[in-house]
Amino acid sequence: MRGMRAVLTGHSRGLGEAIAEELLDRGIAVLALARRGNPALAARHGERLCEVAVD
């Protein structure tokens, strides 16, 4: 699944966080939208995760 990209909303906790983690573990780059960021997720996955704060 390398080279794939996904857009995910609500990634900062709960089910959205679990989905983001799974996508990133599979090598999929994720554009993640949420009210708050997830610093731990960003630290683990670096450049493959792009977080955008939205309301």
Residue type for 16, please?
A: G
Predicted pLDDT of residue 55:
83
Give the number of other Cβ atoms within 10 Å of residue 55's Cβ: 4
pLDDT at 2 over 80: no
Residues found in the chain: 55
- Domain count along the chain: 1
**Residue ranges making up the domain that contains 36:** 5-53
- Please report, as a single letter, which amino acid is at residue 28: I
- Lookup: tokens for 9: 């909303």
* Distance of alpha carbon 41 from alpha carbon 44, whole angstroms: 5
Instruction: Band the pLDDT of 3: cuts 50, 70, 90.
Output: confident
Q: What is the pTM of this model?
A: 0.87
> Encoding tokens for residue 51?
């977080």
Per-residue model confidence as pLDDT tens digits over 5-53: 999 999 999 999 999 999 999 999 999 999 999 999 999 999 999 999 9
